[in-house]
Amino acid sequence: MLKVILFLVAASLIVVVAWLLAGIPGHVTASIGAFSIETSTPVAVLMLAVLVVAILVVFRLLRAVWGIPRTGAAWRRRRRVTVGERAVTRVLVALAAGEQGAARKEARRARSLLGESPQTLLLVAEAGRLAGREDEAEEAFRALAKQKDATFLGLRGLLRQAVDRRDWAEALTLAKQAEAAHPGTVWLRQQRAELALQTENWAEALELIGPDPNRPTYYVAAAEADPDPARALGFAKQAWKQDPAFVPAVLAYATRLRATGSEKRAQACVLEAWKRAPHPDLAIFALATQTDSLARAQAAKRLTAANPTHAESRILLARTALDAGLTGEARHQVETAQAEGVHQRRLSLILAEIEEHERGDTEAGRLAQREALRQASTADADPHWQCTNCHADQTAWHPKCTTCGKVGTIQWQTGQRPSGLPVIAA
């Protein structure tokens, strides 16, 4: 209905305009050379209108012909963008599906169609990583890093590659550049903390890691690495405060207390730790200042007084008593420990030494020693340091496993670990 009304209104306007033009009086005469044209005013106005329309049409035609090359180029650009966007979609689908060949092919096609845009470079890099072509990925990441708005993306990719190949020096350089390009990133902070741990920059790691169950380990490592005695003491104290039963932390703090002349405080820390979790390394530290065997035996009694029935206390008392010639006391401690269910190899070896001291080179002595050594061959394994990640045995505690490189995985293991069962730390 609306169209009909509009048509009637337009037709009415045309009729009115035509009627007005027809009512214009007069004539128009035009002379061009020998030609002369004379017509009425309404016809002249109509001819003028037709001439203007004809000029406009010709102008539009000439403009269209002149713009054919530019129009064609614009059409080709639109076509390339359309095809390129389709290629980008296919890359994303291939990456999600894990189709390595298709992802690389479509990524290269998108790059050739859309140019060196951040999106296409990132897709090329990820497709290369999926296919194991780290060289292609690195080239794309480096091109991405050169673009002002996408520098962080490129640096992140390069940093991830450096970490994967364990090139810590390159990774540190890239991490600093990424921090400058986009400071305060949570992911980058975590990555820098991991790099600090891998490069054993313990002080920086402590600033970056935040809450972490392995912080005592990092504090101990920082204390061992810092050349400044005051800072080292501060790190060691923090480790001890956070876990007073953690033997490396106790020894790190006590060692530095001893170095500053605070022997009484150092011994108090070790004594408190022995109450919580006796350990042979604590005994070595506590008895280090005693050179006389009898004095060592007395010091061992003082150390173990607060936890006398623990296996480590029994073994320490037996060892120091034997060294002091107190074979009766040593035998008592060994037999008591065995009666309490301790069947470690070192206990049987101490018993063999006791038999040698008491019975000498006699038939009975040799038989008793052989029996003790036989027990040692079938006894439980002695407690030892072991990595909970790769299960490699360690002769001493380290903040980082010397075999697999994991940080904070060296734990004190008690007894032999049955095959196929998880390691249980003491």
pLDDT tens, N- to C-terminus, the chain (426 residues): 777 787 777 777 766 666 665 666 666 676 766 677 766 666 666 676 777 777 878 778 777 777 667 766 666 777 777 877 787 788 788 878 888 888 888 888 877 777 788 888 888 888 888 888 888 888 888 888 888 888 888 888 888 888 888 888 888 888 888 888 888 788 888 888 888 888 888 888 888 887 888 889 999 999 998 999 999 999 999 999 999 999 999 999 999 999 999 999 999 999 999 999 999 999 999 999 888 999 999 999 999 998 999 999 999 999 999 888 898 898 899 889 888 888 888 888 888 888 888 777 777 777 877 887 888 888 888 899 999 999 999 989 999 888 888 888 999 988 544 333 333 333
CA distance 126 to 120: 10
- Six-digit token pair at 107? 């990524």
Contacts (Cβ under 8 Å, ≥6 apart) of 181: 151, 152, 155
How many CB atoms within 10 Å of residue 39? Answer: 14
CATH hierarchy code of domain 213-381: 1.25.40.10
Q: Write the DSSP symbol of residue 206.
A: H
**78-208, what's its fold?**
1.25.40
Q: Do 214 and 408 contact (CB within 8 A), yes or no? A: yes
Chain Cα centroid distance, residue 161: 12
CA distance 144 to 124: 10
Chain Cα centroid distance, residue 270: 36
Closest CA to 248 of 206, 280, 215, 220: 220
pLDDT in the model for residue 422:
36
Q: Give, for 31, the enclosing helix (H) or strand (E).
A: strand 27-32
Contacts (Cβ under 8 Å, ≥6 apart) of 369: 352, 355, 356
- Six-digit token pair at 386? 């072991």
Q: Do 273 and 250 contact (CB within 8 A), yes or no? A: yes
Q: Give, for 36, the enclosing helix (H) or strand (E).
A: strand 35-40
CA distance 217 to 408: 6
Its pTM stands at: 0.67
CA distance 333 to 344: 13
CA distance 344 to 382: 6
Contacts (Cβ under 8 Å, ≥6 apart) of 146: 154
Cα pseudo-dihedral 279, 284, 285, 290, rounded to 10: 140
Q: List own/partner pairs for 384-391 with CB under 8 A and 24 or more apart.
A: 384/412, 384/413, 385/410, 385/411, 385/412, 385/413, 386/410, 386/411, 386/413, 386/423, 387/411, 388/423, 388/425, 391/417, 391/423
Q: CA angle 23-27-31, nearest 5°?
A: 150
